[in-house]
């Protein structure tokens, strides 16, 4: 159940809005998400161009090996309440909600992303919310997952039930290696950083790796999704954008944590 971001009382859905007993009210946008960001929590999520590039890229299902693995892993825990933090356009969220018999929440700060996510399904409760201040009660969630998002382990721990599961997916060492070889003079493997997860124990790790073949439009969309878009040399970007196709490794590291008592 969602909580009011102003007074932390439960929110009840009434027609086209959510209301708390103290009279705070939050409208559901026509696309189907609710904005629960209060002033102090506001930051900007991903912008419209970034969101559009990701949406176009995901339409071609290049990341389905990660999507299928996430579904398999999450299903094994049979969770009843699930949170996707930093859900973006709902590529994973909607597929996971379809595969489970569970209440699924998708939180993101980007309204551009949420509009696209919410339009595609009624099975997920999509909210504009900051993942560092999730509008959920303490110990109310069975499983939280994060795919390429900032992490707030204390907040994850707060909302998870005892023994609850947190799954993190991010880049493995060779993720997008060939793309970096084009853009940079020298490409490096991605460093594998350990998550600071006080109050959790790590119970598993998986690797998903595949080679995908991209055309020029896919290359541009994929590049727009990466952090490299902000920090690459112009000549390197031009070299990449001039390619008609490219084979790229996608490699994901999935880590599974369990909340300790």
Residues lying near ligand SAM in the complex (CB under 6 A) are found at: 45-46, 86-88, 91, 107-110, 113, 130-132, 147-150
Which partner, Zn ion, ligand SAM, none, binds residue 208 by CB below 5 to 8 Å per kind? none
HSE-CB at 92 with a 13 A cutoff on CA atoms is: 28
25 binds Zn ion (CB under 5 A): no
189 binds Zn ion (CB under 5 A): no
Specify whether the CB–CB gap between 136 and 164 falls below 8 A: no
87 binds Zn ion (CB under 5 A): no
User: Cβ closer to ligand SAM: 33 or 91?
Assistant: 91
- Cβ atoms within 10 Å of 39's Cβ, excluding its own: 7
Q: Angle, to 10 degrees, between the axis of helix 48-59 and the axis of helix 111-119?
A: 30
Which partner, ligand SAM, Zn ion, none, binds residue 7 by CB below 5 to 8 Å per kind? Zn ion
User: Cβ closer to ligand SAM: 43 or 186?
Assistant: 43
Task: Find the shortest distance in angstroms from Cβ 62 to ligand SAM.
Answer: 12
Total residues in contact with Zn ion, by rule CB under 5 A: 6
Which partner, Zn ion, ligand SAM, none, binds residue 151 by CB below 5 to 8 Å per kind? none
Task: Find the shortest distance in angstroms from Cβ 27 to ligand SAM.
Answer: 20
Which partner, ligand SAM, Zn ion, none, binds residue 4 by CB below 5 to 8 Å per kind? Zn ion
Which partner, Zn ion, ligand SAM, none, binds residue 258 by CB below 5 to 8 Å per kind? none
| Interface positions with Zn ion (CB under 5 A) | 4, 6-7, 20, 22, 24
């Amino acid at each position: 159940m969602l909580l009011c971001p102003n007074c932390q009382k439960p929110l009840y859905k009434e027609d086209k809005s959510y209301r708390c007993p103290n009279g705070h009210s939050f409208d559901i946008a026509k696309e189907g998400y609710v904005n629960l960001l209060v002033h102090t929590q506001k930051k900007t999520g991903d912008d419209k161009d970034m969101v559009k590039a990701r949406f176009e890229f995901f339409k071609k299902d290049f990341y389905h090996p990660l999507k299928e693995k996430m579904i398999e892993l999450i299903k094994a825990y049979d969770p009843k309440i699930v949170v996707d933090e930093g859900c973006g356009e709902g590529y994973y969220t909607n597929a996971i909600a379809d595969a489970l018999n569970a209440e699924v929440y998708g939180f993101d700060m980007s309204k551009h992303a949420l509009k696209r996510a919410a339009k595609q399904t009624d099975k997920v409760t999509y909210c504009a919310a900051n993942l560092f201040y999730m509008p959920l009660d303490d110990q109310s969630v069975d499983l939280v997952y994060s795919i390429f998002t900032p992490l707030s382990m204390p907040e994850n721990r707060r909302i998870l039930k005892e023994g609850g599961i947190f799954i993190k997916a991010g880049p493995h060492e060779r993720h997008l290696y060939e793309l970096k070889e084009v853009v940079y003079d020298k490409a490096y493997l991605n460093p594998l950083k350990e998550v600071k997860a006080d109050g959790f124990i790590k119970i598993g790790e998986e690797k998903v790796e595949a080679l995908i073949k991209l055309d020029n439009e896919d290359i541009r969309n994929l590049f727009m999704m990466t952090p490299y878009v902000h920090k690459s040399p112009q000549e390197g970007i031009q070299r990449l954008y001039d390619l008609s196709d490219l084979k790229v490794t996608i490699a994901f590291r999935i880590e599974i944590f369990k909340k300790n008592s």
